[in-house]
C-alpha cells in the first residue's frame, strides 16, 4: 500500500534533553520508556507494556497502576485535577479488567498554594473515589519552594483485583477482530484547551472525565471474547491503537465515517490544526474483540450511560502489521501514526 | 511535671496558604492531614494513620504505601533521588512488617532536564530495587514546562505482603515497653544540608539511606512482641515518637545519653542551630517492644549490618500521655515536641 511509504518524521528535538514531547503519550514517550526505563527496571511484568501491572498475591490476581496528574488549569469544565486523578487511575485498572479497590494519593504542592483550593481539590478527589467505590487508603504530601512547582501535582496509584478467566492484553489482538469505541472522541483535550486559550463555543465542550470500571464490568459479563481494552488518554485514539498494532503485530484499519466527533470538537480541531484522533479522552475506551461478539457487545455497551454512543470503528488485519490506517471520508487511505511531538502539554 | 507547662509555639504561618512547614513531617503536616485530607477521604484504613495502609486481598494481607521524592540536590553523599525513592517506600512497607514486593514509579520531569542525568537516576533506582528484591512493575512519566517543576520529582508506591500474626501499629505501645533505636541519627539530613550549603567536614557525613526490610525480617524472627516500628524520616525521631505517643495515648521518656549521634553530625547541628532529634534519617528505625524481649532484640539487631549500633533509648510510660520527654545530659527533663516549622525543606 502506497500510504505505508509516506514518511512520518519525528520533529527535530534535542535528544539529549527531556522535551514536552516525552510526556505526550506518543512516539517520544515510547522512546523514553524503551531507552531509559525498560533497561533500568528490566522485568517481565513491566515489559508487557500494559497500562497496568498484574501479578498474583496468594491466590488473588492483582492489578496495579500509577499516574501523576499535572493538568493545567486545575479546574475545567467537566472536572478538576482531583476527580481526574481518580478517574485516570480507576480507568487504567479497569482496562486490565480489574475491579478497582484501593488508591494512594501523593500531593506535591507549591509553597503559597491557597489552602481553600487544596481543600476543594481534596474534596473532589474524595467524592470521585467514593462514587467509584474505591478507598483512598494511604497518602503523602510534599511541599516545594515557590517557583519549583506549579500549584499542585497529584499522583494516584491504584490496586484492584482481576477476576478469574479475564486476560486482557495489548498483545492479544488477532486478524479479523473488531475495533469498538465507546463514544465521542476529543472532548477532554478540547475542554482543557478551551480553558487555557479562552476559546468560546455555542455549546461549551466538557471534559468526558469519567470512571469506566462499571462499563467494563458490563462488557465482561456480556462476553469473555474481549482481547484488549485501552482508554485513549494522552496521545489519543491513534497512539493507543498504534500500541496495540505494534504489540499484537497486526494492522488496524479504521473507518473515519464511523468515528464519532462532536461538531464543536471538530470545529475547534480544524481551527487549531489538530486531528481529533490525537486528542486526549478521559472517559472513553477502545475494545478489540472477536468479531463474532462485536454486535452483542456494542448493544450491551449502549445500555450503559458511558457507552451510549459505542460503535464499531474498524477491524484488525493481517496485512500492514504494526500500522494503523484510516479510510477517510474522501475514500482515500492514510496512515495514522503515533503522536510525534507534543500536541497539548499538561492535558492530564 | 513542670516541663509539661512549657509553651510550644507554632510559628505564625499564614494558615490560608500552604507553607514549606506543611511538608515537614511535623506539626503542620499533621494539621494538613487532619483538616484537609482525612475529612476528604474518610475511611478506617486511612484513619489509622500508619505509614502504610493494610488490607486483605483474598486471604492475603497486603500493605501499600506511597511517597513522592523532591529531594534537592538530586545526588548527594550516600545516595541519590533514585535510590532514596526505593529505600523510602521499601522502609514504609517494612515498618508495617510487610515483605516489599512491587513498586510503581512515576516521574515528573521539568522540560530541558538532561537525558543523561535521567538515565543515571533511573539506573540507580533500578539497582536499588534489585538489591531490595522488589520489581518496578508499572510507571508513568509526565513532563512539565520549564519553570513549572525543578529537575525531577519521583513518586514510588509500594505493595507488599504481611505475614500472619504480624500486627504492628503506632497505637500499640503500652506502658513499660522499651524504645529501641537502630543506630546513629541525623546522618541523612546533615548529608543533604552539607551538599546544599557547601559544608565541609573532616570526615564527610553520608546519608544513611538504606533498605530496612531485612533488618525487620530478622527482628520479627526473633520476637513477635514488637508493638510498633517507625522509620524516623522527615521530622526526625521526635516527630515519629510523638506520633506513637499520641496514637497510643502513652508517654515516652528518652535518655539523651543513650541516643547515638555522630560527632560530625552533632557539630553540624550545633553550628546550624539544629536539634538532631528533628533531623531526617533514611536508614534507621525505632521499635517499641515488650521490655521483656528488648535485650534479646537489640542483640539480634546488632548482628545485622544496619542494626550494629542498635540500643535502648527510652521507655514508654503511663504518665504524660501524648508527650515525649527527654532526660538531658545535664540531668534536666525537657519536652520533645513535634517539629513545628520546617527545619529542612526538600530533605526527601
The grid cell for B86 is: 526505593
Bridge partners, B79 (sequence order): B76
Cβ-defined contact of A60 to B65 (cutoff 8 Å)? no
Cβ-defined contact of A67 to B111 (cutoff 8 Å)? no
List CB contacts (< 8 A) between A65 and chain B: 104, 138
Query: Which of the two residues, A305 and B6, has the higher pLDDT score?
Result: A305
Same domain, A276 and A214: yes
**Per-residue model confidence (pLDDT) at position A46:** 94
Q: Structural domain of residue A214, as residue ranges? A: 178-335
Judged by CB atoms within 8 Å, which residues 200-229 of B form the interface with A?
A: none
Same domain, A138 and A212: no
- The pLDDT averaged over each successive group of 10 residues in chain B (348 residues) is 39 75 92 95 93 95 98 97 98 98 98 98 98 98 97 98 95 98 98 91 93 98 97 96 98 98 95 94 98 98 98 98 97 94 84
List CB contacts (< 8 A) between B33 and chain A: 141
Same domain, B190 and B114: no
**Per-residue model confidence (pLDDT) at position B14:** 58
**A291 domain-assigned:** yes
Helix (H, G, I), strand (E, B) or coil at B210: coil
Provide, rounded to the nearest whole percent, the portion of chain B with pLDDT above 70: 96
**B167 domain-assigned:** no
What does the pLDDT average to over A320-344?
92
List CB contacts (< 8 A) between B161 and chain A: 57-58
Same domain, B286 and B331: yes
Which ranges in B160-290 belong to alpha helices (H)? 187-197, 213-222, 236-248, 263-272
User: Hey, is the C-beta of B139 within 8 angstroms of any chain A C-beta?
Assistant: yes
Tell me which of B119, B136, B162 is where a domain ends: B162
Does residue A161 contact residue A63 with C-beta atoms inside 8 Å? yes
CA distance A47 to A34: 9
Same domain, A130 and A240: no
Query: Which of the two residues, A158 and B340, has the higher pLDDT score?
Result: A158
Cβ-defined contact of A118 to B36 (cutoff 8 Å)? yes
**A98 domain-assigned:** yes
Confidence (pTM): 0.95
Q: Decide: residue A34, CB within 10 A, 0-12 exposed, 13-18 middle, 19+ buried.
A: exposed
pLDDT for residue A2 is more than 80? no
Same domain, B106 and B228: no
Rounded to the nearest 5 percent, the helix, strand and coil shares of chain A are: 35, 25, 40
The distance in angstroms from the start CA to the end CA of chain B is: 36
Same domain, B111 and B191: no
The distance in angstroms from the start CA to the end CA of chain A is: 36
Helix (H, G, I), strand (E, B) or coil at B235: coil
Name the closest residue on chain A to residue B111, using Cα atoms. Answer: A19
Tell me which of A162, A188, A206 is where a domain ends: A162
The grid cell for A200 is: 468560546
What residues contact B115, with CB distance under 8 A and at least 6 apart? Answer: A15, A16, A17, A18, A36
List CB contacts (< 8 A) between A113 and chain B: 17-18
User: Hey, is the C-beta of A134 within 8 angstroms of any chain B C-beta?
Assistant: no
**Per-residue model confidence (pLDDT) at position B200:** 85
Name the closest residue on chain B to residue A45, using Cα atoms. Answer: B137
Does residue A135 contact residue B43 with C-beta atoms inside 8 Å? yes
Name the band, by pLDDT with cuts 50, 70 and 90, for residue A199. Answer: confident
CA distance A41 to chain B (A): 5
Q: Which has the closest alpha carbon to B155: B217, B224, B106?
A: B106
Name the band, by pLDDT with cuts 50, 70 and 90, for residue A341. Answer: confident
What does the pLDDT average to over A130-142?
98
**A299 domain-assigned:** yes
CA distance A301 to A308: 7
List CB contacts (< 8 A) between A123 and chain B: 39-40
Provide, rounded to the nearest whole percent, the portion of chain A with pLDDT above 90: 90
Cβ-defined contact of A41 to B105 (cutoff 8 Å)? yes
**Per-residue model confidence (pLDDT) at position A200:** 85
Disruptive mutation site among A39, A49, A112, A143 for chain B (greatest number of B CBs within 10 Å): A143
What does the pLDDT average to over A244-273?
96
CA distance A117 to A140: 18
List CB contacts (< 8 A) between B109 and chain A: 18, 22-23
**Per-residue model confidence (pLDDT) at position B312:** 98
Same domain, B78 and B186: no
CATH at residue B283: 3.90.650.10
Which ranges in chain A belong to alpha helices (H)? 27-32, 38-41, 44-47, 81-94, 115-132, 187-197, 213-222, 236-248, 263-272, 291-302
CA distance B284 to B230: 9
Name the closest residue on chain B to residue A41, using Cα atoms. Answer: B126
CA distance A131 to A86: 10
Same domain, B297 and B270: yes
User: Hey, is the C-beta of B37 within 8 angstroms of any chain A C-beta?
Assistant: yes
Task: Tell me the Cα Rg of chain A.
Answer: 19
Q: Decide: residue A20, CB within 10 A, 0-12 exposed, 13-18 middle, 19+ buried.
A: buried
Judged by CB atoms within 8 Å, which residues 90-129 of A form the interface with B?
A: 101-102, 104-116, 118-119, 122-123, 125-126, 129
Same domain, A144 and A194: no
**B341 domain-assigned:** no
Q: What is the number of residues in chain A? A: 348
Same domain, B292 and B150: no
Same domain, B323 and B222: yes
CATH at residue A133: 3.30.1330.10
Tell me which of A98, A132, A162 is where a domain ends: A162
How many structural domains comprise chain A? 2
Amino acid at each position: 500500500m502506497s500510504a505505508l511509504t509516506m514518511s512520518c518524521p519525528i520533529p527535530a528535538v534535542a535528544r539529549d534533553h527531556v522535551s514536552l514531547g516525552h510526556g505526550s503519550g506518543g512516539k517520544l514517550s515510547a522512546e523514553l520508556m524503551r531507552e531509559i526505563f525498560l533497561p533500568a527496571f528490566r522485568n517481565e511484568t513491566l515489559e508487557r507494556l500494559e497500562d497496568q501491572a498484574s501479578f498474583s498475591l496468594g491466590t488473588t490476581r492483582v492489578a496495579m497502576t500509577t499516574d501523576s496528574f499535572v493538568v493545567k488549569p486545575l479546574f475545567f469544565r467537566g472536572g478538576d485535577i482531583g476527580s481526574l486523578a481518580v478517574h485516570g487511575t480507576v480507568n487504567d485498572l479497569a482496562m486490565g479488567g480489574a475491579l478497582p479497590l484501593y488508591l494512594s494519593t501523593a500531593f506535591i504542592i507549591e509553597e503559597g498554594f491557597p489552602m481553600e483550593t487544596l481543600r476543594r481539590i481534596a474534596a473532589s478527589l474524595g467524592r470521585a473515589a467514593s462514587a467509584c467505590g474505591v478507598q483512598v487508603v494511604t497518602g503523602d504530601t510534599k511541599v516545594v519552594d515557590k517557583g519549583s512547582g506549579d500549584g499542585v501535582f497529584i499522583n494516584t496509584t491504584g490496586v484492584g483485583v482481576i477476576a478469574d478467566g479475564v486476560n486482557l492484553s495489548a498483545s492479544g489482538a488477532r486478524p479479523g477482530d473488531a475495533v469498538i469505541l465507546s463514544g465521542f472522541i476529543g472532548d477532554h483535550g478540547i475542554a482543557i484547551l478551551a480553558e487555557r486559550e479562552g476559546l468560546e463555543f455555542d455549546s461549551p465542550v466538557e471534559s468526558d472525565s469519567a470512571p469506566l470500571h462499571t462499563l467494563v464490568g458490563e462488557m465482561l459479563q456480556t462476553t469473555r471474547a474481549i482481547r484488549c481494552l485501552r482508554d485513549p488518554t494522552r496521545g489519543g485514539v491513534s497512539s493507543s491503537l498504534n500500541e496495540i498494532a505494534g504489540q499484537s503485530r497486526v494492522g488496524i484499519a479504521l473507518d473515519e465515517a464511523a468515528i464519532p466527533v462532536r461538531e464543536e470538537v471538530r470545529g475547534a480541531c480544524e481551527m487549531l490544526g489538530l486531528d481529533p484522533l490525537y486528542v486526549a479522552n478521559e472517559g472513553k475506551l477502545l475494545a478489540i474483540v472477536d468479531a463474532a461478539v462485536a454486535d452483542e457487545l456494542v448493544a450491551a455497551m449502549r445500555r450503559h450511560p458511558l457507552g451510549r454512543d459505542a460503535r464499531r470503528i474498524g477491524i484488525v488485519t493481517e496485512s500492514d502489521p504494526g500500522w494503523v490506517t484510516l479510510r477517510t471520508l474522501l475514500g482515500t487511505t492514510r496512515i495514522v501514526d503515533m503522536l510525534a511531538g507534543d500536541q497539548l502539554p499538561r492535558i492530564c
